[in-house]
Amino acid sequence: MRPSFAQFRFPLLAAVLASVLCSCASLPPPTGELAAARQAVSRAEGADADQYAPQELGVARTGLSQAQAAMSGGDENDARRLALASAADADLAYARSREALVTAELNQRQAEVAELRRRLQSEGQP
């Protein structure tokens, strides 16, 4: 008679659970993730995200604060998750801010080119 899967289910489940618990316990504290999130928020602030992407920057700041609180409370997994999300939100704020600045600069240059063309055309006519 062949052994059934049901006979091995409990030991297999116990082994998988033990493996998961060991792998979670072996992760280092998320200090690097917190530092990266802080740096991303600072970079977004330096790119005038307060003006051009205030919503995204606010979400990033809130996430960073929550990550720091989770770290202080000893919840490293939550701190890691929140720090990574905060960094992503800050990167989005940075990108949107840079996009707004570059678009404004492009519009200014296009207006300058149009003005130069207008001047050139008016000088060429008698």
Task: State pTM to two decimals.
Answer: 0.71
- As a whole number of angstroms, the longest Cα–Cα distance in the chain is 107
Given pLDDT bands bounded at 50, 70 and 90, which one contains residue 123?
A: confident
CB 66 within 8 A of CB 89: no
Give the pLDDT of residue 3. 52
Angstrom distance (rounded) from CA 112 to CA 106: 10
| pLDDT (mean) for 19-39 | 80
Angstrom distance (rounded) from CA 89 to CA 71: 19
pLDDT exceeds cutoff 90 at 2: no
